Amino acid sequence: MVNVRVSFSRLGWSYIFFKGLLYDLPGIELVDPPLVNTDIVSEGVKNSPEFVCFPFKFILGEMINLYHNYDVKDFMMIADHGPCRAGMYGVVQKRILKNIGLKDVRMFYLHQDDFRNLEWLGVFPKLEKRTGEKFSEYKIIRNTFLFLAKAYFVERITHIEGLVRCREINKSMTTKVVHTLMNLLDNENNLMKLSNFDRTIDEHFRKIPIDKEMEPLRVCYTGEIQVMLEKWVNYDLMGELGVMGIEVHKQYDVFDWVLYKLNASKRRRRLERKAKEYIPMDIGGEAVWNMGSYLESQEKGFDGFVHIFPFTCMPEISLMGMLEAEKNMDKFYMPHIHISLDGSSGFEGIRTRIEAFHDLMVGNKKSNPIFRDAKYVVPDEIKNIYFEPKSDFEYFVSSIEKPMSMLLTMLKPTKKLDLGFTIKNGLEFLSRNLSFDINSLFNL
Amino acid sequence: MNKPEFIKNNLSNNIEGKLYLGIDVGSVSTKCAIINENNELLFATWTRNDGSPIVSTQENLRFMEEVLPDNIEKRIYGVGTTGSARYLIKALIGADIAKPEIIAHAIGASTYTPDVRTILEIGGQDSKVILMKNGIVTDFNMNSVCAAGTGSFLDHQAVRIKVPIEEFGEYALRAEEEVSIAGRCTVFAESDMISKQQEGYSKEAIIKGLCKALVRNYLNNVCKGKKLFPPFVFQGGVAANSGIKNAFEEELGHEVIIHENHYVMGAFGSAILAKEYVNGQVSSFHGLKISEMNLAPGSFVCPDCANRCTIKYLVREKDKNRVNGKEKDDAIFARWNSRCGKW
């Protein structure tokens, strides 16, 4: 039996946890998606509609590249019914791929409308049908936890990366440590060992010699999630800001998004409450939460707000309009910069803007009393790594605490769950190997 | 090759004190300025770029060598660069500091008009607005995805309707009738202009309409509803166009100040920045001899770590084939742009 080669879009480090979701399933061979480069992007741009958001273009380019050079014909994509058109990208991309002559492409959609309704489980029966193998329930449950755990650690590593880079004494040491950690995480598939990975992260970051007295400028770094993930697209802006000596507080990664779709993200609920006055509902992209994090970081006394989004991303442009409006000038006093990305390789224009933005923040810090008097607080992550190392007991407590708080948040849902739909999906999944057709029950 | 033009030359053998050089390498032109310790502009040149910023910088330096007194090279105590090619030129001439043009323009403008609140700057390929308060930049914005209404666009239209760009302003002032032209996009503006020409409007009216459209586009696209306070300072190459100045004054309802040296304000600002940065230390300036060399730029991706920095380098033309990135060679004049500082 020939294995089915499956792959997905790389999206920065996200391929690590997508690999976790399909780890060790019989008949499936996972292919590491290659790094995005100019050729991939230009191939995607060539075959995309002109005014579609940029993530669509580079994901399409990645698929074409995987098809031609890595012999991959089966792709996993997300599908959604949200307010953002990104939810339907997989379907459109499949059509485009068929139209340009790649007839045997198959797409497996991971339905992320609401993870609680178990619709996403539908991806496994489809994969079983494709491979002709049976996946055991145990493996599927284990892989779900692998996915969640790996996504959590990827988010944590990238978050700490942004905080540490400005303090490093030997340049580019942080990048090396991050790559070592990601390699470790990619190869670790034992859930018991993963539960202790927090400690490994802290130990590796502790090896970086840092400037302990430093009180750097703080920046809230946020934007549309897919361009934030992919380094080629955003010119590794996070690293660029870090090298300038700015502490970057990265706001989102995929894990946070998954939590939100499980209705378990306390943080996003808090941000939504903050942003309610300006944006009362999810309008697509990350606009609501970006507004929330702007207000939150302004309260904390941050020095700036860096906002990146794909050219033609309507929700993020609405947010930009709100922040720049004349009548809101007094409410939004923290400096903000908006960078729209469309895959041009000219970094010079963006460098000019962020350097000028840096000078602006330095000037503010010197002379503007609002920013001069703001008290600098060392972030918890840095404190735990370099100043007050956690004890074994504290590590144990935090490894229990996080899932528990998730569960508690889930028990107080803000969105209604369609229980009948959930039961139907669950039963459909469990009865997938029986001859009895469960759907006939619902059609009565 | 375009010859550099003088804008100002007050330098002579008997001027005392330290001198500072600022170079602004923009997308369309290269500007040089020399100041003394009291921030007075003594000397300024302007050249149109013909493709290569290196060649036009060398041309400028060669020109300076010709016209300036002999001992001038030793009296330059600091060099600053700005503009889109600032890192390239910094590596080329061994400048002390490379700062983005936004800061350089802000410094330049606030030296002449200390209480300036709004700087309108329209250059060859970008337009920006800088808001200041008490001599400190509080906010800025550059055109993000569109170059409609910049100097290049005017240049192009001037060629198309066969009016010398220098006389653009006079034409606009002579206009007696009003024409409305779409300024949102260069292509739309051009097709509007063509149809207006066919409808029989005079060149003067069309140019005036174009100036108004450009200003409208600038205020909508670049200023984006920011609150603009007087006094206004208008600088950059387009400020030479009095039609645009008039249109700005009409739209803003306030006088717009244009300094006589608006051309070189970026270079002037970067000279001041260099002066502040050097602060008595020794400058890393290579001297004016750079103009004799034949240099070519290049780049490769550093394979050593995951940052994948694009390393840029300058080599002597005759040795260009010998460089492959890995080896360290005498031929390499300068290398920069790595995150770790290795190259």
The CA distance from A201 to A185, in Å, is: 10
CB B56 within 8 A of CB B49: yes
Does B89 score more than 60 pLDDT? yes
Tens-digit pLDDT profile for residues B242-293: 888 888 888 888 888 888 888 788 888 888 888 888 877 777 777 766 666 6
Q: Does B276 touch chain A (CB under 8 A)?
A: no
The CA distance from A63 to A294, in Å, is: 35
Contacts of A340 in chain B (CB under 8 A): 144-145
With bands split at pLDDT 50, 70 and 90, how would you rate the model's confidence at A60?
very high
Domains in chain A with CATH codes: 4-135 (3.40.50), 216-377 (3.40.50.11900)
Contacts of B89 in chain A (CB under 8 A): none
Best of B137, B141, B228, B312 to disrupt the A interface by mutation (most A CBs within 10 Å)? B137
Helix axes A254-261, A266-275, angle to 10 degrees: 80
- For residue B77, what are its two tokens? 């105590």
Q: Does B134 touch chain A (CB under 8 A)?
A: yes
Helix axes B203-221, B242-252, angle to 10 degrees: 50
User: E-assigned strands of A251-373?
Assistant: 304-310, 336-341
> How confident is the model at residue A144, as a pLDDT?
92
With bands split at pLDDT 50, 70 and 90, how would you rate the model's confidence at B145?
low
Judge: B136–A335 Cβ closer than 8 Å, yes or no: no
CA nearest neighbour of A233 among A427, A410, A10, A432? A10
Domains in chain B with CATH codes: 5-104+266-292 (3.30.420.40), 114-258 (3.30.420.40), 295-336 (no CATH)
Per DSSP, helices labelled H in chain B are 53-67, 86-93, 101-112, 151-160, 168-174, 186-198, 203-221, 242-252, 265-278
Q: Does A348 touch chain B (CB under 8 A)?
A: yes
Q: Does A349 touch chain B (CB under 8 A)?
A: yes
Judge: A356–B103 Cβ closer than 8 Å, yes or no: yes
Residues present in chain B in total: 343
Collapse the DSSP code of A277 into the 3-class scheme (helix H, G, I; strand E, B; otherwise coil) and give the result: coil
With bands split at pLDDT 50, 70 and 90, how would you rate the model's confidence at B135?
confident
Share of chain A above pLDDT 70, in %: 97
Best of B82, B139, B276, B299 to disrupt the A interface by mutation (most A CBs within 10 Å)? B139
> How confident is the model at residue B259, as a pLDDT?
84
Contacts of A367 in chain B (CB under 8 A): 134, 136
Tens-digit pLDDT profile for residues B27-39: 778 888 888 888 8
- For residue B136, what are its two tokens? 């400190």
Share of chain A above pLDDT 90, in %: 30
Contacts of B134 in chain A (CB under 8 A): 367
Tens-digit pLDDT profile for residues A101-113: 988 999 999 888 8
Find the closest chain B residue to A236 by CA distance.
Answer: B307
- For residue A165, what are its two tokens? 């880079």
Q: Does A107 touch chain B (CB under 8 A)?
A: no
> How confident is the model at residue B291, as a pLDDT?
62
Tens-digit pLDDT profile for residues A245-302: 899 999 888 898 889 888 888 899 999 999 999 999 888 888 999 999 999 999 998 9
Long-range contacts, stretch A366-371, CB < 8 angstroms, 24+ apart: A366/B136, A367/B134, A367/B136, A368/B136, A370/A301, A370/A333, A371/A301, A371/A303
R_g (Cα) of chain A, nearest Å: 22
The CA distance from B56 to B34, in Å, is: 17
CA distance B286 to chain A (A): 25
> How confident is the model at residue B312, as a pLDDT?
75
Which residues make Cβ contacts (< 8 Å) with residue A222, sequence separation at least 6?
A228, A250, A251, A252, A286, A289, A290, A293, A305, A306, A307, A308
DSSP A352: H
- Geometric angle at alpha carbon A103, from A102 and A104, rounded to 5°: 100
Tens-digit pLDDT profile for residues A300-344: 989 999 999 988 888 898 898 888 877 777 888 888 898 888 877
Q: Does A395 touch chain B (CB under 8 A)?
A: no
With bands split at pLDDT 50, 70 and 90, how would you rate the model's confidence at A218?
very high
With bands split at pLDDT 50, 70 and 90, how would you rate the model's confidence at A1?
low
Question: Which uninterrupted H or E stretch holds A409?
Answer: helix A392-411
Contacts of B103 in chain A (CB under 8 A): 355-356, 359
> How confident is the model at residue B290, as a pLDDT?
66
The CA distance from B143 to B138, in Å, is: 17
B57 or B7: which carries more pLDDT confidence?
Answer: B57
Which ipTM did the prediction report?
A: 0.79
> How confident is the model at residue A403, as a pLDDT?
87
Q: Does B282 touch chain A (CB under 8 A)?
A: no
Best of A165, A171, A352 to disrupt the B interface by mutation (most B CBs within 10 Å)? A352
Q: How far is CA B89 from the centre of its chain?
A: 13
DSSP B271-318: HHHHHHHHTTS------GGGGG--EEEEEEE--SSTT--EEEEEEEGG
Contacts of A178 in chain B (CB under 8 A): 306
Of A175, A342, A363, the CB nearest to B307: A175
Judge: A324–B225 Cβ closer than 8 Å, yes or no: yes
Collapse the DSSP code of B257 into the 3-class scheme (helix H, G, I; strand E, B; otherwise coil) and give the result: strand
Question: Which uninterrupted H or E stretch holds B22?
Answer: strand B19-25
| Backbone phi and psi for residue A56, each to the nearest 5 degrees, phi listed first | -55, -45
Judge: A179–B340 Cβ closer than 8 Å, yes or no: no
Of B142, B145, B225, the CB nearest to A325: B225
Does A97 score more than 60 pLDDT? yes
Question: Which uninterrupted H or E stretch holds B34?
Answer: strand B29-36
- For residue A38, what are its two tokens? 């100019």
